[in-house]
Amino acid sequence: KGAGKAAWRPFTPELETERSDEERLEQDLRHAIAAGQLGVAYQPIIGLAHGGVNAREALLRWTHPARGAVSPRKFIPVAEKSDLIRTLGLWVLDRACRDAAAWSDTARICVNVSVRQLGDGSLPRAVQEILGQTGLAPRRLELEITETVLSNTTEGIVDDLQLLHAMGVRISLDDFGVGFSSLGRLRAYPFDRIKLDASFVRDAVERPDCRAIVGVVAELGRRLGIETVAEGVETPAQLAVIHEEGFTEAQGYLFGRAILSAPAAAPAA
């Protein structure tokens, strides 16, 4: 139906199976929070000037009772088709801020936010409330938004990001380089950081064209006064390239995978 009237497709059992499998996944996901099946894993982000942990990214993990671990690359797109992503997004945000407030260092906590959570003023309000409850300093919270946000012209989205930024919360542009967005629109948003997508980092050592892109993004960050993070750094050779090109931070298996954490104990009443 979504493909329009003219683009009818003959009914096939495979299509039916595909749809109902996704529907079942969504049903199960709706119950995952209450059933205690969700967790948050943290992956370090390294400052290249000194080699220390500058930040940790919160990554949602779901252990399904029958399917086992389901990748967020599979279930996040399902959740993004409805308001379910808003519920999940708030759950992660609350958990991540509570955990970060209990860390023994002052690293930033980076939380992924879907564009569906933006535009109606509810996220700035929720963040305000969570920061108040956890006592986490606003500057320690960073919200990651994928590059597709730039092609979404809903007015309230920029407003919400400006509100959050005015509170002192950091905003970063995730998966930069794969979304075909207009560079001009970058300036309309209060980005503190750009995260270059792992696909460029992966090939930067062997392919001069990928290395050129890595260099240009580092320069773009310097010229715009925006910090740059390289995603998916797996080898010392890749690290050498992004370091030489002047990236400020790096994330990837070379430094550590995302590690599931037990929730921080609730503060004593």
Q: Which residues bind ligand C2E (CB under 6 A)?
A: 43, 59-60, 71-73, 76, 89, 92, 112-114, 144, 174-175, 198, 231-234, 251-253, 258
Amino acid, res. 52: G
Q: Which one, 73 or 223, has the nearer CB to ligand C2E?
A: 73
Helices and strands per DSSP (H, E), number in the chain: 8, 10
Query: ∠ CA(169), CA(51), CA(231), 5° rounding?
Result: 60
Mind giving me the DSSP string for 70-92?
Answer: E-HHHHHHHHTTSTHHHHHHHHH
What backbone torsions phi and psi does residue 151 show, to the nearest 5 degrees?
Answer: -95, 0
Mind giving me the DSSP string for 126-158?
Answer: HHHHHHHHH---GGGEEEEEEGGGGG---HHHH
Residues in contact with 243: Cβ distance below 8 Å, sequence separation at least 6, in sequence order: 48, 250
Select the residue interacting with Mg ion from 28, 142, 144, 160 (CB under 5 A): 144
The CB-of-57 to Mg ion minimum distance in angstroms stands at 6
Helix or strand run (H / E) with residue 254: none
Size of the site for Mg ion (CB under 5 A): 5
- Report the SS3 class of residue 173: strand
Q: Which one, 147 or 160, has the nearer CB to Mg ion?
A: 147
Measured between its terminal Cα atoms, the distance across the chain in Å is: 53
Using rule CB under 5 A, residue 142 touches Mg ion: no
Q: Which one, 173 or 213, has the nearer CB to ligand C2E?
A: 173
Choose one: 81-89, 139-147, 158-166, 261-269; the region binding Mg ion (CB under 5 A).
139-147
Q: Which one, 28 or 231, has the nearer CB to Mg ion?
A: 231
Q: Which one, 28 or 173, has the nearer CB to Mg ion?
A: 173
What backbone torsions phi and psi does residue 249 show, to the nearest 5 degrees?
Answer: -140, 160
The CB-of-14 to ligand C2E minimum distance in angstroms stands at 26
The CB-of-243 to Mg ion minimum distance in angstroms stands at 19
Q: Between residue 152 and residue 211, which ones bind Mg ion under the rule CB under 5 A?
A: 174-175
Calpha distance 199→220 (Å, rounded): 18
The CB-of-198 to Mg ion minimum distance in angstroms stands at 5
Dig out the tokens for 201 from the structure. 């980092």
The CB-of-54 to ligand C2E minimum distance in angstroms stands at 15
Choose one: 11-19, 81-89, 111-119, 186-194; the region binding Mg ion (CB under 5 A).
111-119
Q: Which residues bind Mg ion (CB under 5 A)?
A: 112, 144, 174-175, 231
